[in-house]
Amino acid sequence: MIPIRYSKRDITDKAQIDHFLAVAKTGHLGMTNGIEPYIIPLNFCWWQGNLYFHGADSGRKIEMISANNRVCFSVCEEYGTVADPVPAHVDTAYMSVFLSGTIERVEEAEEMRGAMQAMLDKYVPGYFSEPLPLQHVLKYRSSMGSTTAVFRITPDTITAKGNLAGEEKKFYPGRKVEMDV
């Protein structure tokens, strides 16, 4: 693993990283077939120490995964701009997580349902009064006729960094440098 160069931004608290992955909305999946890279944004869930997402069972993503099951996934949330009287210290408040590992299509029906339920719980908490039926997962077809494929990324490295500046440092419209000196 390559260490984070700006080590004062390194985040190592596993609970903080797990929470961030549990609530962040969009990540970017990076793949390569050995010839070209391919990066796509995805909704995802962090469940049981793995990252899950779903999608069509055919297309460029599937071709890339079939060519090379080593992938990376990046998630970043921006929390505002950090104001400072010194122009070089104006910064961004954020947290990001980068993981790399292997990806595989989930074949076991209960794991598929569990991952899909975790996604529903994340993106529409409390919306459904009943758990996701297994039959829905197994029989669902998209408007283009493809079946739903569920994928699991098993990470072998996870790094996180951030600048979690307090509210008192954040820029807001109307804030002037004279207020900070």
What's the token pair of residue 68? 């090379």
| CATH class of the domain at 7-164 | mainly beta
Domain residue spans in the chain? 7-164
What are 169's two structure tokens? 């440092």
Closest CA to 71 of 80, 62, 79: 62
The pLDDT of residue 27 is above 70: yes
- Residue 92 bridge partners (DSSP): 81
Instruction: Say yes or no to pLDDT of 74 above 80.
Output: yes
Predicted pLDDT at 58: 85
**pLDDT per residue as tens digits for the range 40-67:** 999 999 999 999 999 888 889 999 999 9
b/e burial code for range 112-127 (CB count within 10 A of at least 16 → b): bbbbbbbbebbeeeee
Largest Cα–Cα distance in the chain?
Answer: 63
